[in-house]
Amino acid sequence: MARIKYKEVAGLEAKRGKPSKGKKPSKNKLKKLYVQESRSIREVADILGCSKDRVYRALKEYSIERSPKTRKSQLRVHSLKYLKDKIAKKGYKQAAIELGVGVTTLRDYMRVNE
């Protein structure tokens, strides 16, 4: 026989899962940190003193999304000439390690910017 919960019988909605830690962040703070400063959800949660789940749910509720263009590559601080010279001398793998990015990231960046 199926077990019937009290709240279901009474016609009330039962909350599921563990409650999120911290206060719900404001829309302005989320936009500033997540979209304008391009911070990760974890970084935003640490700054605001709440859980990453709380930040994720607030982003979803406020319909805040980060467009692909707002994401900034670490490679853009270097000139193309510098990157080409580094790749020519050391190869893609070693250059990527020294620059702190993945080999695929470096190849894609060079392909798009040439």
Question: Over the stretch 35-73, which tens digit does the pLDDT of each residue have?
Answer: 888 888 999 999 999 999 899 999 999 999 887 654 567
Given pLDDT bands bounded at 50, 70 and 90, which one contains residue 22?
A: confident
| Whether 20 contacts 50, CB under 8 Å | yes
The rounded radius of gyration (Å) of the Cα atoms in the chain is: 23
Taking CA atoms, 82 is separated from 16, 25, 32, 79, in Å, by 54, 42, 32, 5
Extract the tokens encoding 85: 């010279």
Residue 17 or 111, more confident: 111
Is the pLDDT at 21 greater than 80, yes or no?
A: no
pLDDT confidence of residue 88: 94
Q: Where are the domains of the chain?
A: 22-68, 74-113
Whose CA is closest to 20, among 51, 47, 55?
51
- pTM comes to 0.49
Given pLDDT bands bounded at 50, 70 and 90, which one contains residue 26?
A: very high
Query: Can you give the length of the chain in residues?
Result: 114
Is the pLDDT at 82 greater than 90, yes or no?
A: yes
